[in-house]
Structure 1
Amino acid sequence: MTVIIDRPAATPRALVTPALFTRLTARIAIDHPEHAHQADVIMEQALAFLATCAANPGAGLGPSDAVDIGWHTFLMYTREYGEFCRRAAGRFIHHAPDDVPGEPGPGGGLAATIEAMEAAGYRVDPVVWPTSADCSNDGGGKCNQCHAGCYDSPKKAVG
């Protein structure tokens, strides 16, 4: 598998064209008016999350609730999303819901996703990623079930 994006963009919005970024944020504002004021942040963080999934195939990383809005929005633009996946990951980044909502996906939950994003060189914006204080935890303080119930499915990875 050849991964085209081998280091983070200066800003995650640079991972797509400016015209597409504008379309995606406008769609978030239309479909989720309660998040219109942060549509840019949601989409930037969704792109950083997806690029991190691309760099970590099989990790089962999962988004926060707000970031999942950006992912769902991008998925509606199937041609553009498919092209992004081919360019970023050399494979399609599948969106897989958890069968049991509220339980962490295979990647270890939000803390593992945040750690992977930071390791990939992306800034994690606390506006759309809850802090560990906002998460259910395993009793040891580790956030483990804060993602939106969706993850990059390692079982469906192609490539």
Structure 2
Amino acid sequence: MTTEQNEEQVDPEKATKIRESLALFPLPRVVARYSHDYDLPEDMALRVVEEMKRFLALCAMNSSARYGMRGIVDDAWHTFMIFSRDYFAFCEAIAGTYIHHEPEERGSDDGLEQRLALSRDSYRRTLADYEKVFGSEPPIDIWPRVQSGEALHEPACRNACGRSCSRCGRGCASCGHGCSRCNRCGRG
């Protein structure tokens, strides 16, 4: 499904209602737990949780689209789901139904290139639709950009491979973890 098809399926009135509903769910317990579990400053955890809510809003606005994300936003989603009552209430209010977490299939090397291409395409669709729906580019420290032909890796340490730190989303000096290689994809 192309982004153009996704755009046609998003009802602008529904999108406005969903965007406004996000503010009704500040999720302080999720932010605190995510901050603690991933050793992040609370302000960074709050930013990531807000971006996770936006991702779920995209899913609610266009349930037939195949949106992609990973890394810190996915980690925040996992944390949110363990607060099952809060997660269920959020889903009901935002989507009218439960938003299932469906990870991409892992498998043998057969079809790996096709799966990687699908993963990149769904992630790019997320970034494109995010900008259309929310009126701004997704923050690059939380939503890294993927170059053509590049595998979709997690944000990595600026010291090792030129991306942001996977702990805090900023450069390595920002969080003090002193990373020397990416603790997500192993590059470095």
TM-score (norm 1): 0.70
Long gaps (5+) in structure 2: 1-10, 108-114, 156-188
Corresponding residue for residue 146 of structure 2 = 132
- Say if 1:5 and 1:15 are closer, same or farther in 2 by CA, change over 3 A: farther
CA distance in 2, matches of 1:77, 1:105: 30
Work out the percentage of aligned pairs sharing the same amino acid.
27
1:29 to 35, 53, 63: 35
In structure 1, the gaps of 5 or more residues are: 149-159
Q: Which residue of 2 aligns with 1:154?
A: none
1:109 equivalent in structure 2: 122
SS of 1:64's equivalent in the other structure is: coil
Q: Secondary structure in 2 aligned to 1:110?
A: helix
Q: How does 1:66-77 map to 2 (within 5 A)?
A: 66-77=72-83
Tell me the residue number matched to 1:39.
45
User: In terms of Rg, which structure is larger?
Assistant: 2
The higher relative CO (CA closer than 8 Å, separation ≥ 6) is in 1
TM-score scaled by length of structure 2: 0.60
In structure 1, the residue matched to 2:111 is none
Which stretches of structure 1, 4 residues or more, deviate above 4 A after TM superposition? Answer: 34-37, 104-107
CA deviation vs aligned residue, 1:53-78 (integer Å, no higher than 9, x gap): 10011212122311111111111111
Whichever structure has more helix as a proportion of its residues is: 2
2:105 is the alignment partner of 1:99: yes
